[in-house]
Amino acid sequence: MARAIELATETKGTNPADTPIAALVVRDGKLVASGVNQTAECCDATAHAEIVALRAAGKAAGEMRIEGATLYSTLQPCGMCTMASIWAGISRVVYGAGRDDVHSMYFEDRHLSTLDFIVDAYKQNLTLTGGVRADECAPLYFRPWDDVPEKMQAND
């Protein structure tokens, strides 16, 4: 997670407006690929850090499934990224700041959580660990109490 935080802040700074979200795919203790959020840069709503990392990991692995890998993300993956992790065969998802640590703008649904997707997935061996270095990750994002202009809220 320390490496993910480093990647997020080195690449995108520490201003929440610049979406410093980073993700890493690690397998057998080795970094397979990484990514940072590029939604604004690429004009692509799917360019979340986790998706960027999973795409790069698939290319690096030479196959779409990266079985046995762990996905680390500085922010709890959204529904899209959680599903992508399931499709990619990820075995473990580890995230920093959780849903309750950040503004609701980071999630597309009021009630559906990463946990629900994982519990319901056709996959028995996918584990989820949240809150890792959350105190370092959360300040990178808008907090629940921040008054974020509607225009800046991706889920508006």
Q: Which is nearer to Zn ion, 29 or 102 (by Cβ)?
A: 102
**82 CB-side CA count, 13 A:** 24
The total of other beta-carbon atoms located within 10 Å of residue 34's CB is 21
Q: Which is nearer to Zn ion, 30 or 112 (by Cβ)?
A: 112
Q: Are 117 and 26 in contact (CB under 8 A)?
A: no
Closest CB 116 distance from Zn ion, rounded Å:
15
φ/ψ of residue 45, rounded to 5:
-65, -15
- Count helices and strands (H / E) in the chain: 6, 5
Closest CB 78 distance from Zn ion, rounded Å:
3
Q: Which residue among 50, 63, 136, 150 is the active-site one?
A: 50
Q: Which is nearer to Zn ion, 78 or 88 (by Cβ)?
A: 78
- The footprint of Zn ion (CB under 5 A) covers 48, 78, 80-81
* Region for residue 140 given its phi and psi (left: phi exceeds 0; alpha: psi -120 to 50; beta: otherwise): alpha
Q: Which is nearer to Zn ion, 78 or 102 (by Cβ)?
A: 78
The total of other beta-carbon atoms located within 10 Å of residue 21's CB is 31
Is 50 an active-site residue?
yes
Closest CB 38 distance from Zn ion, rounded Å:
12
Residues with Cβ within 8 Å of 154's Cβ and at least 6 positions away in sequence, in order, are 39, 45, 105, 106
Closest CB 81 distance from Zn ion, rounded Å:
3
Catalytic residue positions, numbered? 50
